[in-house]
Chain A
Amino acid sequence: MNEMDKTTLSEDIRTALRMVIDPEIGKNIVDLGLVYDIAVEEGGVVSVTMTTTTRFCPATDFLKEAVQACVWYVPGVEYAEVRLTYEPPWTPDMMLDVA
């Protein structure tokens, strides 16, 4: 897997994650800036680092599970790991598009 393949896979994942919405805001988590990083390693091993708008929001586990499920379905992904972080904490300024 060369660098271009990794970049392509990363973009495919980013596109797929646009299907996952934050239920409260109604916008997808990518445009909201909740996906901090998508790291693609050799062999289609993917690590997604994400956050939620509010720490310990009741939707947190559902969002994490949704990202996990979504990434697994992207062709080329052999293994996916989702990591939740609050460093840095999300702020509304991270949104690509104002809700």
Chain B
Amino acid sequence: MPGATLSRWTMSYFAAACLMLVAGQGLMVAGYGYPFADISAPETLVVVHLIAIGWLSLLMAGALLQFVPVLIARPVIGGRFAMPALLLLLGGLGCLLGGFVALSGALDLPLALLPIGGVMLLAGFGLFAGILAVTLLSARPLPLPARFVATGLAALVGAALIGSAFTATLSGFTESPLLDRLVADGVALHAALGLGGWLSATAVGVSYRLFSMFLLAPEVERSTSRAAWWGASVAVGLVVVAVVFVLSGIFGAALLFAAALLLTLMAVMLYGADVLHIYRGRKRKQAELNIRASFAALGLCALSILLLNVPSLRSGNMVAAVVYLFVFGWLTGLGLAQLYKIVAFLTWLEAYGPVLGRAPVPRVQDLVDERHALILFRLYYGAVGIAVLSLAAGTTGFFRMAVAGQLLSTLCLIREFIRARRLSIVPAALRAPAGMVRPRLFLPLSAFQGDK
């Protein structure tokens, strides 16, 4: 069946994710959350979860629904649950944010929103992780990139479980010294599982395949790649053990966390060496913009992990600056760079796939304008750099201006995604061959086009 390997709901996940990124950055520009409020204030939690769940997790989930089949050469099993998972995640996030707003006292909302949000998010992430877990189990033994995804899914479940425990405690619905200890000492572990284990390990796994694919480089499973996976997986395992230590009141969680960070640094270095190897072995003379922009993100990943390994930088302003670098330099930079390519690629498949071989069609690259987007990526990374330095120096005015620059470049990049969806950049002669179906902006493919 033509197009049976297209994920129906991926574009909807992406659209929701982009809206959340704009909302999160918009709140920061408006002076909401850290550094205008305390780092653990409810206002900060609103912004953090808008970015971590609303933007990064939805983006990653949408991308995995499309690309896990490429990693394992099998279709997704249970793809029909992708939409319910999205609704649960969006509803859960809405309740969670409402709960944080209630905690802040800004609006008279019921605190019950917090645990309701926690349960809905746990259900949404559980459903999503279930789809991919069943799919991955059907493809054992897993190729290396898929093993990174499996590690990421395990970390996602851990992060979601801890998060829902937080919501029960913060809302006062549960009183337990066990969970009180987790709220007091487990925030960094929750963040490490979410941002490091879930989002970064999966991004690394998928990128191994995408870099080879887009650079036309041979796919070789090297010993360094296997060592990077082991490093990342053991680091996730150490964080999980640290969570158990915190819950049990056993001393040593901080030591385990430091060891996990060191292992992560080793894994990132090995991953960097692998990416360099792929780049050197490429047949494509000129790397496209999405690859170049991803390399910038990779450099910032290595830098932020290196800085996190310096104990004196793991507190106060400095940790906020380093985590900001990790979230907006590495994860968001990589996310925007890959979206730039993936949106054009999926749009091409929807619009021109059905008429391929029957009429002349454009290339994927004809759907984008790299010269324009290059300026936007430069603006984005420049703004991130200034925002990080402003956070480190404690200059909130500069920080706000820098985030405004990020927001502007993000909005312009989203406009580029929309132009790609609308085929605006495609040369007129090739734009609308007979039989071509114009893609919807973000609504799903019709049932006969997408997965089941």
Interface residues in chain A, defined as those with a beta carbon under 8 Å from any beta carbon in chain B: 19-21, 23-26, 53-63, 65-70, 91-93, 95, 98-99
Contact = CB atoms under 8 A, between A and B. Distances in A.
B3 A61 contact: yes
B349 A59 contact: yes
- For this complex, into which size category does the number of interface residues on chain B fall? 35 or more
Contacts of B75: 56
B358 interface: yes
B357 A26 contact: no
27 contacts: A19-B357, A21-B356, A21-B361, A23-B348, A24-B213, A25-B216, A26-B365, A53-B213, A53-B216, A56-B5, A56-B70, A56-B75, A57-B5, A58-B6, A59-B353, A61-B1, A62-B353, A63-B356, A65-B2, A66-B356, A67-B357, A70-B357, A70-B358, A92-B217, A92-B218, A98-B283, A99-B285
**Residue of A20, A24, A25 with highest tally of chain B CB at under 10 A:** A24
A58 B70 contact: yes
B397 interface: no
Nearest to B341: A24
Given A53-B213, A54-B213, A19 B360 contact: yes
B427 to A, nearest CB: 13
B133 to A, nearest CB: 19
Interface of B: 1-6, 66, 69-70, 72-75, 209, 213-214, 216-218, 283-285, 345-346, 348-349, 352-354, 356-358, 360-361, 363-365
B285 A62 contact: no
A55 B70 CA distance: 7
Contacts of A56: 5, 69-70, 72-75
Contacts of B284: 99
Contacts of B70: 54-58
A25 B345 CA distance: 11
Contacts of B216: 25, 53, 92, 95, 99
Question: Which 4 A-B residue pairs are closest in the complex by CB-CB distance?
Answer: A66-B357, A26-B363, A62-B353, A92-B283
Contacts of A23: 345, 348-349, 352-353, 356, 361, 363-364
Interface centre among A20, A23, A63 (most CB of B within 10 A): A23
B121 to A, nearest CB: 29
B73 A91 contact: no
Given A19-B357, A56-B70, A59-B349, A24 B214 contact: yes
B2 A24 contact: no
B185 to A, nearest CB: 44
Given A24-B363, A65-B357, A67-B357, 11 more contacts: A19-B360, A56-B69, A56-B75, A58-B66, A60-B5, A62-B3, A68-B357, A92-B216, A92-B218, A92-B283, A93-B283
A65 B356 contact: yes
Contact of A62 (B2, B72, B214, B363): B2
Contacts of B285: 98-99
B332 to A, nearest CB: 24
A93 to B, nearest CB: 8
A61 B357 contact: no
A20 B357 contact: yes
A69 to B, nearest CB: 5
A21 B358 CA distance: 11
Given A21-B361, A21-B363, A62 B69 contact: no
A58 B349 contact: yes
